[in-house]
Amino acid sequence: MHPDGHVSWFLNGKLNVCENCVDRWAEETPDRIALIWEGDDPSHSKRITYRDLHTQVCKFANMLKRLGVRKHDTVGIYMPMIPETVYAMLACARLGAIHSVVFAGFSSHSLRDRLDDAHCKVVITADQGVRGGKVIPLKSVMDEALKECPLVEKCIVFKHQGHDIDWTEGRDEAMRPYCPLEPMDNEDLLFMLYTSGSTGKPKGIAHSSAGYLLYAAMTHKYVFDYHPGDVHACVADVGWITGHSYVVYGPLCNGATTVLFESVPTYPDPARYWHMIEKHGISQFYTAPTAIRALMVHGDEWVSKHDLSSLRVLGTVGEPINPEAWRWYYEVVGRKRCDIVDTYWQTETGGHLLTPLPGAIRCKPGSATRPFFGVEPVVLDSKTGQPLEGDDVSGVLCIKKPWPGMMRTVYGDHERLLNVYLRPYKGFYHTGDGAVRDKDGYYWITGRVDDTINVSGHRLGSAEIEHALVQHPGCAEAAVVGFPHSVKGAGLFCYVTMNNEYEVNEGTVNELRDIVRKEIGPIATPDHILIVPALPKTRSGKIMRRLLRKIASNDTGSLGDVSTLADQQVVSDLINAAQKLF
C-alpha cells in the first residue's frame, strides 16, 4: 500500500463510464431491458430498454450542460428510487461531472452539509418521494437546505408525484433534450459518497472512473454469477454504495437488466420481495440481514406461496448475518437450491472484499468466507500492529495491497484518507472492522473497532449523533453507543446530561429524539434516550464508552476494570436508571 494513498489502474487510459454502461449496450442489444422500476405501489412498474436509457441519459446530460455543468464539476443528487435518478447519475458520468448522491432519508441539515462540502453548483431532486405509502417531501427539504448553500445556482426538480410544490423562478428549471461523451482519464473521479466516521464530520469518499468501474463490474459478474438474460435485483437505495455498485454501475457495465426498487420490504405486506421476484423473474436477489430478520418474524407462508424458481443467487450485505437468518434465507427463500453470498465490503472499497463465489466456495453461515480475486486481507494484532500469521487468529482487519475499486481520496481532504485508513497500521489499508480468521482460513467480521455504529446496515457515527443532541438548549453532554438489537443488528442508546438550571419535563426526551431526526434524519432515530446526572469518565476526562456499551446491553455482570473512573458512584446510578428502560 503506497503510504500517500496513490493508487491508479489503467494509468493514462481514457474512458467514459457512461459509454461503457449505456452506449455500448444501446448499440449491441438496444431492445434488452436495462432498468425495471418497481414503484412503491406494487401496481406501478416500468421497463426501460438500453435504447431508451441512452436517449434519456443524453437528454439529461444536455440539460445539465445547458445549466453550465462541465467536466469535474460536482452535482448533488437527492432523489427517490426512480429511473430519473439513474439518468442523472449517468448523465453526470457522460459529462465527466462528479456526482454526490445523498440518501433521500437524510434531513435538510445533513443534506446542506454534504452539498456544501462537495461544492455542488447544481442539485437534482424530485417534488416528493414515497416509501411504504409515506410521502417524503424532498423538494421542501431541499429548499430548506438551499437556504444555507450559497454555492448552489440551479435546482432541477422532477415531478414524480405530480403534486403542487413551491417553485423558485430562475433556480428551478424543467427539462428538455440530446449529447457527446466526454473522454475521461482513468483516475478522474466518478462520484463521491458521504459516510460517517469517528468524528462528527462525514467524509466524501471519492471513487475513480476506470478502477471503480472494473471492480464493480467484475464483482457483479463473478460474485452474483451473472449471465446475459439474468434479472438482477439489488434492493438497496442508490443513496448508498450498494446502490451505486450493484444497482447502477456493475450491472449496467455488464449489460444486465437491473431492478430499481422504490419501496420497503413490508409494504403493502411482508410478501413484497417475493411477489416482485415472481413478477419480474429475478435471478439474483441482494438485500441486508436486517430486512431478512424483519421478514422472518412474519412466518414462512408469505414466502412459500410464491414461485421463486427464477432465483439462483441470494446475497446479503451491510452487517454480519446471524446463522439463523442465513438458514432461513437459504432454506425458505432459496429452497436449498440457491447459493448464498454474504458479501463484506464498504463505501470505501467500491465493491466486495470478502465473499463466497457461487458454487465455488463452501459456505459457513455467518462468515463472509474468503477474499475476492486479488484482495489480500491480513489480521493484525491491535496493539503491536503486527500481522498475525496462520489461522485461528483474531484482531483488526486490514488489506495489504490496493485493489481497483479502492477509494482514491476523501473529497477536499486527502490527509483524512491517510489519517483514517493508511496511517493507523503502516503499510496497510485499515477497514475499521475486527475479524477472526478461523482454522480453515475463513473470515468472520466481529464488528467495528471505531466509534461508528451499524444500525440496519447503515453506518452512523456516534459523534454525529452526540453533536445533534447537544443542539438541544438544555443538553450539556451526550454519549451514544450501540446495543444488540434483534432486527436492526444494533440500536442506538443515548446517554444525556442536562444543564443544572434546565428543567426536564415529560417532553424533553421527545425533543431530544426530534433533534436527532432533524439534524441527521430518521435513520438515526435513537432507540433509548436516558437523561442521567453524570457520564462515567476517567480521571483524565475521557468518557468510558466500554461501560456505557455494557450498561446499554444490560450486561452489567462483569464491568471489567473500573479503577480509572473518577467517580465510581456514577456507574451504579446509570445501571439503576437504565434498568427502568429494560
Task: Tell me the C-alpha distance between 194 and 77, whole Å.
Answer: 12
Q: Which of 138, 238, 241, 399 binds ligand WTA (CB under 6 A)?
A: 241
Q: How far is the CB of 420 from ligand WTA (least distance, A)?
A: 12
Q: Which of 23, 73, 342, 450 binds ligand WTA (CB under 6 A)?
A: 342
Q: How far is the CB of 459 from ligand WTA (least distance, A)?
A: 5
Residue in the block written with cell 437534482: 124
Query: Does 459 help bind ligand WTA (rule: CB under 6 A)?
Result: yes
- What is residue 20's DSSP assignment? I
- What is residue 348's DSSP assignment? G
Cβ proximity to ligand WTA, 302 vs 326, nearer residue: 326
Q: How far is the CB of 557 from ligand WTA (least distance, A)?
A: 26
Query: Does 345 help bind ligand WTA (rule: CB under 6 A)?
Result: yes
Residue in the block written with cell 423558485: 168
Cβ proximity to ligand WTA, 246 vs 302, nearer residue: 246
Residue 159 in grid coordinates: 415531478
Pairing outcome for strands 393-399 and 377-380: antiparallel
Task: Tell me the C-alpha distance between 361 and 145, whole Å.
Answer: 47
Query: What is 460-527 written as a DSSP string?
Result: EEHHHHHHHHTTSTTEEEEEEEEEEETTTEEEEEEEEEE-TT----TTHHHHHHHHHHHHT-GGG--S
Query: Does 394 help bind ligand WTA (rule: CB under 6 A)?
Result: no
Query: Does 370 help bind ligand WTA (rule: CB under 6 A)?
Result: no
Task: Tell me the C-alpha distance between 35 and 112, whole Å.
Answer: 30
One symbol per residue from 169 to 198: x for binding ligand WTA (CB under 6 A), - otherwise; what is it? --------------------------x---
Cβ proximity to ligand WTA, 39 vs 197, nearer residue: 197
Q: How far is the CB of 319 from ligand WTA (least distance, A)?
A: 5
Q: Which of 16, 257, 284, 343 binds ligand WTA (CB under 6 A)?
A: 343
Q: Which of 89, 213, 260, 445 binds ligand WTA (CB under 6 A)?
A: 445
Query: Does 461 help bind ligand WTA (rule: CB under 6 A)?
Result: no
Bridge partners, residue 377, by sequence = 399
Query: Does 290 help bind ligand WTA (rule: CB under 6 A)?
Result: no
Cβ proximity to ligand WTA, 194 vs 495, nearer residue: 194
- Nearest residue by C-beta to ligand WTA? 347
Distances (CA, A) of 464 to 99, 422, 515, 517: 23, 23, 12, 12
Bridge partners, residue 479, by sequence = 495
CA nearest to 236, candidates 202, 197, 271, 284: 284
Task: Tell me the C-alpha distance between 498 and 572, whole Å.
Answer: 19
CA nearest to 499, candidates 529, 467, 533, 465: 533
Q: Are 350 and 215 in contact (CB under 8 A)?
A: yes
Cis ω for the linkage preceding 356 (within 30 of 0): no
Cβ proximity to ligand WTA, 205 vs 532, nearer residue: 205
Cβ proximity to ligand WTA, 356 vs 474, nearer residue: 356
Query: Does 216 help bind ligand WTA (rule: CB under 6 A)?
Result: no
Q: How far is the CB of 258 from ligand WTA (least distance, A)?
A: 17
Q: How far is the CB of 491 from ligand WTA (least distance, A)?
A: 16
Q: Which of 248, 317, 357, 398 binds ligand WTA (CB under 6 A)?
A: 317
Cβ proximity to ligand WTA, 83 vs 318, nearer residue: 318
Q: Which of 368, 478, 548, 551 binds ligand WTA (CB under 6 A)?
A: 368
Residue 199 in grid coordinates: 468524528
One symbol per residue from 406 to 435: x for binding ligand WTA (CB under 6 A), - otherwise; what is it? -------------------------xxx--
Q: How far is the CB of 481 from ligand WTA (least distance, A)?
A: 16
Q: How far is the CB of 433 from ligand WTA (least distance, A)?
A: 5
Q: How far is the CB of 396 from ligand WTA (least distance, A)?
A: 12
Q: Which residue spans within 239-338 are E strands per DSSP?
A: 257-261, 284-287, 313-317
Q: Are 492 and 485 in contact (CB under 8 A)?
A: no
Q: How far is the CB of 355 from ligand WTA (least distance, A)?
A: 8
Query: Does 318 help bind ligand WTA (rule: CB under 6 A)?
Result: yes
Q: Which residue spans within 112-212 are E strands per DSSP?
A: 122-126, 129-131, 134-136, 154-158, 172-173, 184-185, 189-195, 203-208
Count of residues touching ligand WTA (by CB under 6 A): 22
Query: Does 454 help bind ligand WTA (rule: CB under 6 A)?
Result: yes
Q: Are 417 and 410 in contact (CB under 8 A)?
A: yes
Interacting residues toward ligand WTA by CB under 6 A? 195, 240-242, 317-320, 342-347, 368, 431-433, 445, 448, 454, 459
